[in-house]
Amino acid sequence: MVVTNEKSVSEAIKYRRSVRVFKNEAIDTEKVKECIHLATLAPTSSNMQLWEFYHVVSPEIIQEIAKASFDQNAAKTAQQLVVIVARKDLWRKRVQSNIDYLKTQYGNKPATEYSKREKFALNYYQKIIPTLYFDFLGIIGMLKFLIFQVIGIFKPIYRQARQSDMRIVAHKSAGLAAQNFMLSMAAVNYDTCPMEGFDSLRVKKILHLSASAEINMILGCGIRDEKGVYGERFRIPFEETYIKI
């Protein structure tokens, strides 16, 4: 039997808080890396994995990013930072990786011998996904959106095909990875603070990110100081947000 002192999922969920002040105590880079690895196991739209994870361990870069994050305590006192980047622009590369993976799963046989299910999956990445992701200055996306609205009068159809919709698709999945990461950290008694309060242009420059890369979240990492959690957890009464149908 493997003995582990990691928290259960519900324990980790309850333990996780947004920590604004971290102790001046080093955390294990390998453990954080393992939590990033667990983050990549999050579900992702069409398994496109349009994300990258920048694990910042350099104290100088952390301070540069903290400055670009309005000197927030959660960044300034962090021992390490994880920057989750949405890479919608990598869609062609990810489509190819999915196709290559599917083919390895199908084995070495001619395409004519593929089953219906196998053909459907390949078609999904070869035709449907490129139809959704291909765009030019947002114009094709808008055209697709309008065409889908018309088709949608007659039958159910996927409607979110604009450039802005596809950004949301990439950010949604990146957010799930962020939550996986924070809970994995909580499970091993490490703390985090998700942040969107930063100057994205400056942080992108610091990390040498391309113009098309979009920062989803910056996560401060460390061990909570006793004054690091600003008060009790506040949530809107559950009955107000829970709707049973």
Ligand X SMILES: Cc1cc2nc3c(=O)[nH]c(=O)nc-3n(C[C@H](O)[C@H](O)[C@H](O)COP(=O)(O)O)c2cc1C
| Shortest CB 70 distance to ligand X, Å | 8
User: Running DSSP on this structure, what letter comes out for residue 197?
Assistant: -
What's the closest the beta carbon of residue 194 comes to ligand X, in angstroms? 4
Which helix or strand (DSSP H or E) is residue 115 part of?
A: none
Which residue, 143 or 176, is less far from ligand X as judged by CB? 176
Q: Which is nearer to ligand X, 98 or 184 (CB)?
A: 184
Q: Which single residue is written with the structure tokens 């062609």? A: 92
> What is the C-alpha separation between 101 and 181, in angstroms, rounded?
25
In this structure, what DSSP letter does residue 188 have?
T
Report the nearest approach of ligand X to the CB of residue 32 (Å).
19
Nearer to ligand X, 11 or 100 (CB): 11
Give the tokens for residue 12: 């980790």
The count of other CB atoms within 10 Å of the CB of residue 204 is: 19
Whole-angstrom distance, CA of residue 151 vs CA of residue 22: 53
**Do 86 and 216 form a contact (C-beta atoms < 8 A)?**
yes
Beta-bridge partners for 84: 53, 217
Where along the sequence are the contacts to ligand X (CB under 6 A)? 17-18, 20, 72, 74, 193-197, 217, 233
Q: How far is the CB of 229 from ligand X (least distance, A)?
A: 7
Minimum Å distance from CB 38 to ligand X? 18
Which residue has its beta carbon closest to ligand X? 197
In contact, 218 and 65? CB cutoff 8 Å: yes
Q: For ligand X, give the closer residue by CB, 28 or 196.
A: 196
Nearer to ligand X, 74 or 129 (CB): 74
